[in-house]
Structure 1
Amino acid sequence: MDRREFFKTMLTTPLLAPLLLASIPAKSDCELYLIADDPHLFIPLILKELEKFKQTYGRNFTLLNSHPQENNIRRTLIQEGWRCVQKPIQADLILSFTPLGNAAFPSFTLVKDGKIWDIRSRKLSYLWREINKNHSPSLCLTIASLKNRRSDLLSGELVTLYKDGNLIERISLKKKLSKSFRTQEGKITVRVEDGKAWISESSCRHKICLHTPPVSLAGERIICAPSHFLLEIQGQHSVDTSIG
């Protein structure tokens, strides 16, 4: 699968469509998109190569949602010297999972500053070819975001809201309000109070966004994938994304 086909596959995936279609730059230092049934076999090697390009800042990781290989991923990373933490804000590496709409040949790509990163690495080039040619089609998409540590303590000022990839509203975090929006899943309600924002009501089928804690730091996000709805705290860098 070439890079064009890779992103064509991701654009048919509800989780990624609202972000990619809106052309919202990735706020983490680097993001890895990996299609494979056994991502734990490949993530450590990719991370080691990224260290050569100074794309890793620490050794803490977390998983945002349930992953079919989460036990293997956790065990493999711990063996490589990583430490599992509970809160995304404490993590340097944030992993998440979403099923693809259709099975695709295993592959991976890297995104840096919102653009495909054509990293010059012989090991990664070899790994890319090996994954693509020698493994069966997969429905498993793993996203690994390497967080920019400089943004950890930046308080946000605005919450920006996107629906179907389009910016629909900006709200000051100094306000106190509750506002509802119609989505393809029904309705979603955003609550802003005490400098924080969260989803207080949602008709989506997953309900993960509804149970996500409030966000307040610059770059923090809550994504409701079924509703194609994104809530993001405005700032220079992203430190956390909650997927629901």
Structure 2
Amino acid sequence: MERRDFFKKVIITPLLTPLFLAAKKRKSGCELYLIEDNPEEFFPLILEELHNYIANYGHSFAFLNSHPHENDLGRILSQRGLTYVQTPIQADLTLSFSPLHEKTLPSFTLVKEGKIWDIRSRKLYSLWREMNKNQRRSSCLTIASFKSRQSHPFSGKYVSVYKEGSKIEMISLQENVTKSYRTRGGKITLRVKDGKAWVPESSCRHKICLHSPSVSFAGERIICVPNHFLLEIKGSRYIDTSIG
């Protein structure tokens, strides 16, 4: 089934509204939508292959509402080391059931960070073909919601200074220092103190970098475009505190 048709079937399902509201309260990181009358036959392999999208399922699961295959799905999750809890808001993974308004071909998809991910690749593409080989239509929609896990920022150790795209210096955040640099746009000053780095002076026309909050965590950076100047605290991902 095409992604557009998949969500046409899902959206017109009348019981989904309260389930979506419940999921909002839990701040789900992503949701797996599975249309299949016997979800327990395909759920284990799909769950196994989701490691490319979900680093950790957590340690507990719950059901938002009564599911016709609750016992089988619960057994599968228990075998994977998850513990059943009665309160959904305390669970890392919740499952819910809704009958579709009309039967449709079996399929599955993942919604993560507001984007629809087509996860039918390699093993899962073969699984999807197996689900559809008999053209048997299903009316059971199972939604697995994975709790959002916010990553805690790590304090940085060094701030790297770049000018004209080249790294010119690396300064420990434990130092107490003020340095000025000549740039294409004039001059810019870096201040490092108490584990933080910021720009107290700049001759650039926008002055956005001048009013930027300090950076101290891995991945944070300040970019001054007119001066072709960049402050960066090394991290696996980067957050632009200001671009100006």
Provide the TM-score with structure 2 as the length reference: 0.54
1:135 is displaced (CA, Å) by: 5.9
1:128 is displaced (CA, Å) by: 1.7
**Quick check: 1:102 aligned with 2:84?**
no
Counterparts in 2 of 1:119 and 1:136: CA distance versus 1, 3 Å: closer
Alpha carbons 1:93, 1:144 under 8 Å: kept: yes
In our comparison, the structure showing a higher alpha carbon Rg is 2
Amino acid at match of 1:136: R
CA distance in 1, matches of 2:120, 2:38: 24
Alpha carbons 2:93, 2:146 under 8 Å: kept: yes
Amino acid at match of 2:124: L
Counterparts in 2 of 1:61 and 1:107: CA distance versus 1, 3 Å: same
Amino acid at match of 2:118: D
Any idea what the Cα deviations from partners look like across 1:137-177, whole Å, max 9, x if unmatched?
111110000111339xxxxxxxxxxxxxxxxxxxxxxxxxx
Aligned to 2:143: 143
**What RMSD, in angstroms, separates the aligned Cα atoms of the two structures?**
2.6
CA distance in 1, matches of 2:144, 2:13: 16
Structure 2: which 5+ runs fail to align?
A: 152-244
1:81 is displaced (CA, Å) by: 2.1
Question: Which gives a bigger RCO, structure 1 or 2 (Cα 8 Å, sep 6+)?
Answer: 1
Aligned to 2:117: 117
Amino acid at match of 2:54: K
1:58 is displaced (CA, Å) by: 1.0
Aligned to 1:35: 35
Aligned to 1:81: 81
CA distance in 1, matches of 2:87, 2:123: 32
CA distance in 2, matches of 1:3, 1:107: 9
**Quick check: 1:13 aligned with 2:17?**
no
CA distance in 2, matches of 1:43, 1:94: 14
CA distance in 2, matches of 1:107, 1:125: 10
Alpha carbons 2:19, 2:64 under 8 Å: kept: no
Range with bigger deviation, 93-102 or 53-62:
53-62
Secondary structure at the counterpart of residue 101 of structure 2:
strand
CA distance in 1, matches of 2:18, 2:95: 19
Alpha carbons 1:29, 1:55 under 8 Å: kept: no
Provide the TM-score with structure 1 as the length reference: 0.54
Secondary structure at the counterpart of residue 56 of structure 2:
coil
* Identity fraction in percent: 62
Aligned to 1:128: 128
Alpha carbons 2:31, 2:146 under 8 Å: kept: yes
Structure 1: which 5+ runs fail to align?
A: 152-244
Give the 5 Å matches for 1:88-237: 88-119=88-119, 121-134=121-134, 136-150=136-150
Aligned to 1:166: none
CA distance in 1, matches of 2:89, 2:32: 19
Secondary structure at the counterpart of residue 71 of structure 1:
helix
**Quick check: 1:60 aligned with 2:60?**
yes
Any idea what the Cα deviations from partners look like across 1:173-224, whole Å, max 9, x if unmatched?
xxxxxxxxxxxxxxxxxxxxxxxxxxxxxxxxxxxxxxxxxxxxxxxxxxxx
Secondary structure at the counterpart of residue 150 of structure 1:
coil
CA distance in 1, matches of 2:36, 2:56: 22
